[in-house]
Amino acid sequence: MQELTHYINGAHVKGTSGRFADVYNPATGEVQAKVPLANAEEMAHAVAIAEAAQPEWAAVNPQRRARVMMKFVDLLNRDMDKLAEALSREHGKTFPDAKGDVQRGLEVVEYCIGAPQLLKGEFTDSAGPGIDMYSMRQALGVTAGITPFNFPAMIPMWMFAPAIACGNAFILKPSERDPSVPLMLAELMEEAGLPKGILQVVNGDKEAVDAILDHPVIQSIGFVGSTPIAEYIYGRGCANGKRVQCFGGAKNHMIIMPDADMDQAADALIGAGYGAAGERCMAISVAVPVGEETADRLVEKLVPRIEALKVGPYTAGNDVDYGPVVTAAAKANILRLVESGVAQGAELVVDGRNFQLQGYEDGFFVGPHLFDRVTKDMDIYKQEIFGPVLSCVRAQTYEEALGLAMDHEYGNGTAIFTRDGDTARDFANRINIGMVGINVPIPVPLAYHTFGGWKKSAFGDLNQHGPDAFKFYTRTKTITSRWPSGIKEGAAFNFKAMD
């Protein structure tokens, strides 16, 4: 059995804590590797190396740092299939979906090639008599990221690419469920020319996370995961004086108006609700048709599409719509929530509870489910299921549908399907959710915009990637400059305007 490592100071390093976690093949249920779980001492060792390496990297001019990103993009394209295969093997998502995971991370790296422009400061000539003012953006020092299992390539790159482009060192603590791709990314970054010690991968669980939160050298922390853990990391990290951005859970609604193209809406819900087995923070898990006739038409369109979904291992290639969920515990939790929906009175229109795949009986496969006539007091509506389960909540009016999305505690993403521009504009303006789609089911912004939710889906005042990332990973320093040749005799002892 393969024993994975940490990646510290440019080398694969065995764990010394004596603790390991199992890494499964979700399609078969078999343990395929062991990953070491770092203790506080191992984390401190990685941080010390990063702290020593970072000043020299920060002194490299932004254009040369950008060239490392350019080379990294070339290497990602070269190894795209290799990375996607490793990702699918540990996560379970289909090969095309795994390539998309890498691609969306690559796009953020491409954006970071613009670091010289994004790091420019401001200058004011003659702010006062002989006085100039200017600002500069400077790296924080050692930064860290704690990333989830569902996007083991994309989200690490969303964090470490801008952090490193800004001149920081970065400690990555990936999910222990699928750690191989982050290790591969660290290797590729050094092949691209990154100095040793600037990007390090330290595997671990809560002990490693707490070591990051409490280490005085680490200046900022990024996190993506569940809301309870996001709240914990945000609170403890901020209490320790760190800059923290945390992204938590989601319950994304898609409102379907009576004038919507129902085939288009149904197709969108299939991809957004069941793609990647529903293990996406931007997955649509709640469909809100407006009016009984709209709901009946929508459900009629959805049922045959759902029943035609092909579930299987990534090795089946393009013949599979989605694969297994990541662990047996994830499967059990999804099925527990499905049972709660039945018990609480929702109508289970498509029942995937007894799904089994011949030859893969021990795999973590979950059949597709569709609930109708779900109400907002049910657990399947209130909780994030993170599985192939779509709930249909019937609304009688547009205002009722809007209120469902606005009143939910999560505010990550939402969408509306309509042909009416006034309705779409009103929805976009009024909805209290961070990312909005108009006839687009999964409105994930491109790399040059920012990604982030509202309410209990996000903690911190800056989003991921785009311009916000360069703000998050730098501090602004403002300089007021006056040269002696322009100073008149006599000292000034009062604080006054410069005019």
Residue 267, φ and ψ in degrees, nearest 5: -60, -40
Q: Are residues 86 and 10 in the same domain?
A: yes
pLDDT tens-place string over residues 256-268: 999 999 999 999 9
The pLDDT score that the predictor gives to residue 484 is 79
Same domain? 336 vs 465: no
Q: Are residues 167 and 109 in the same domain?
A: yes
**Do 257 and 230 belong to one domain?**
no
Rounded mean pLDDT of 215-243? Answer: 98
Note the pLDDT tens digit of each residue in 325-361: 999 999 999 999 999 999 999 999 999 999 999 999 9
Catalytic residue among 112, 166, 281, 392: 281
Helix (H) or strand (E) segment spanning residue 42: helix 40-58
**How confident is the model over 75-88, as a mean pLDDT?**
98
DSSP 8-class letter at 354: T
Same domain assignment for residues 336 and 412? yes
Q: 288 phi and psi, to 5 degrees?
A: -120, 85
pLDDT band at 1 (very low <50, low <70, confident <90, very high): confident
Does some domain include residue 344? yes
Q: How far is CA 402 from each of CA 396, 399, 430, rounded to the nearest angstrom?
A: 11, 5, 9
pLDDT at 130 exceeding the cut of 60: yes
The reported pLDDT for the residue numbered 337 is: 98
Q: For residue range 288-324, list pLDDT tens digits in order.
A: 999 999 999 999 999 999 999 999 999 998 889 999 9
Indicate whether 232 and 263 sit together in one domain. no
User: Would you say residue 28 lies in a domain?
Assistant: yes
- 199 and 102 inside one domain: yes
Do 197 and 267 sit in the same domain of this protein?
Answer: no
Whether 7 maps to a domain, the answer reads yes
Tell me if 487 is assigned to some domain: no
Pair (179, 111) in one structural domain: yes
Tokens 């569940």 locate to 226
Domain assignment of residue 360, yes or no: yes
Q: β-strands 389-392, 218-224: how paired?
A: unpaired
Give the sheet arrangement for strand 252-256, strand by strand. Answer: 347-350, 369-372, 389-392, 284-289, 252-256, 413-417, 435-438
CB atoms under 10 Å from CB of 171, counted, come to: 28
Q: Is residue 392 flagged as an active site residue? A: no
**Which tokens sit at 352?**
């995937």
Asked, for residue 122, whether it belongs to a domain, the answer is yes
Whether residue 463 sits in one domain with residue 432 = no
For the chain, what is the domain count?
2
Question: Does any domain span residue 493?
Answer: no
**By percentage, how much of the chain surpasses pLDDT 70?**
97
In a domain, 486, yes or no: no
Burial class (CB in 10 A: 0-12, 13-18, 19+), 228: exposed
Residues 50 and 170 in one domain: yes
**How does pLDDT run across 440-499, given as a tens digit for each residue?**
999 999 999 999 999 999 999 999 999 999 999 999 999 999 987 755 566 565 666 555
Do 202 and 42 meet the contact criterion of CB atoms below 8 Å apart? yes
Bridge partners of residue 371, in order along the sequence:
348, 391
Residue range of the domain that includes 139: 2-248+457-479
The per-residue pLDDT for 81 is 97
- What is the CATH classification number for the domain harbouring 262? 3.40.309.10
Mean pLDDT of 238-267: 98
**Average pLDDT score, the chain:** 96
Same domain, 134 and 234: yes
| pLDDT value, residue 498 | 54
Q: What pLDDT does residue 491 have?
A: 59
- Looking up residue 50, the CATH number of its domain turns out to be 3.40.605.10
